[in-house]
Amino acid sequence: MKRILVTGGAGFLGSHLCDQLLARGNDVICLDNYFTGSKQNVIHLLDNPYFELLRHDITKPVYVEVDEVYNLACPASPIHYQYDAIKTIQTSVMGAINMLGLAKRTKAKVLQASTSEVYGDPYVHPQPEEYWGNVNPIGIRSCYDEGKRCAETLFFDYHRQNKVRIKVVRIFNTYGPRMHPNDGRVVSNFIVQALKGQDITIYGDGMQTRSFCYCDDLIAGLIAMMNTGDSVTGPINLGNPTEFTIKQLAELVIEMTGTKSGIIYKPAVSDDPMQRKPVIDKAKQVLNWEPRVQLREGLMRTIEYFDSILK
């Protein structure tokens, strides 16, 4: 039995990861400061003797003995990571240093949940891992983008300098049940608005694109990455390469929920990337992984979830 630390374990992706790691017979420590996560996401695990919940902030060191660390702690939605930008950078940078220090001391493998945001507003489309990105270092998204980029740098420096066993994955927009209704990201916003009969808010002209991955697929990719041999460090893109405009997403949500909501257009947000689609050849070759759940099916499950919690 492996003992595994999941930082950000009470968040959207972290809680699904805890579920899967426990189902595979591991001992799981879920660390979270509940900034955007919630006990509600893991409440069903509290009776499991192989599950422990640790209220902690990863900007401070933590001493636990583990075999693997999944470092997911960081607010991921623009409204939440911009709420306290300095804290967001601290979480990415100090959090990475603390988790890498822990991995160095315990000789644990450590996986970093990096992001497609490291590509910024990309000039190369679709985005392969070799692309270095086009990121504004001083804008309102920089606290997140540059924080995550610096965390990647730290991961590779600890690997080169201290032989820490690292795994870096770049996650593209992922959605599903347990996103917070006020999370602010596009899929949850549109579904919640549709279910409440409110107008659907598109920022800008809606022609910007994203490629949406269902959470179960993503979690399978994270675990496959952790289980690779020590020579595999990444970075590896994880995401669903089917690209949609935000307007198409709005129309699909309207159709699938049968809502009477209309669409309203709001001003574009600053530094909003115009297009995003992962090249996933590496994930296919190295991890034997590719997403299985297409947008319509994933949206159906997510709509069912929000319908049940909004009642």
Q: Which is nearer to ligand NAD, 203 or 265 (CB)?
A: 203
Measure the CA–CA gap between 189 and 168, rounded to whole angstroms.
28
Residue of 73, 111, 191, 293 that binds ligand NAD (CB under 6 A)? 73
Distance, CA of 199 to CA of 98 (rounded, Å)? 43
CA separation for the pair 240, 167 (Å, rounded): 20
210 makes contact with ligand UDP (CB under 6 A): yes
Which option in ligand NAD, ligand UDP, none does residue 298 bind, with CB closer than 5 to 8 A by kind?
A: none
Assigned token pair, 13: 């992706």
Residue 203 touches which member of ligand NAD, ligand UDP, none, C-beta under 5-8 Å by kind: ligand UDP
**Residue 180 binding ligand UDP, by CB under 6 A:** no
What is the DSSP code string of 182-210? T--SHHHHHHHHHHTTPPEEEETTS--EE
Site for ligand UDP in 76-115 (CB under 6 A): 77-78
Residue closer to ligand NAD by CB (options 86, 138) is 86
Q: Is 144 annotated as catalytic?
A: yes
Q: Decide if residue 13 touches ligand UDP (CB under 6 A).
A: no
Q: With b meaning 16 or more CB within 10 Å and e meaning fewer, what string describes 76-105?
A: bbbebbbeeeebbbbbbbbbbbbbbbbbbe
Across-strand partners of 201?
264
Please tell me the distance from the alpha carbon of residue 278 to that of residue 205, in angstroms, as a whole number.
22
Partner from ligand UDP, ligand NAD, none binding residue 186, C-beta < 5-8 Å depending on class: ligand UDP
The tokens describing 114, both together, are: 């990096």
Under rule CB under 6 A, which residues in 287-306 are in contact with ligand UDP? Answer: none
Of the pair 51, 175, the CB lying nearest ligand UDP is at 175
Answer for which of 80, 159, 185, 277 binds ligand UDP (CB under 6 A) is: 185
**59 sits near ligand NAD (criterion: CB under 6 A):** yes
The residues carrying an active-site annotation are: 144
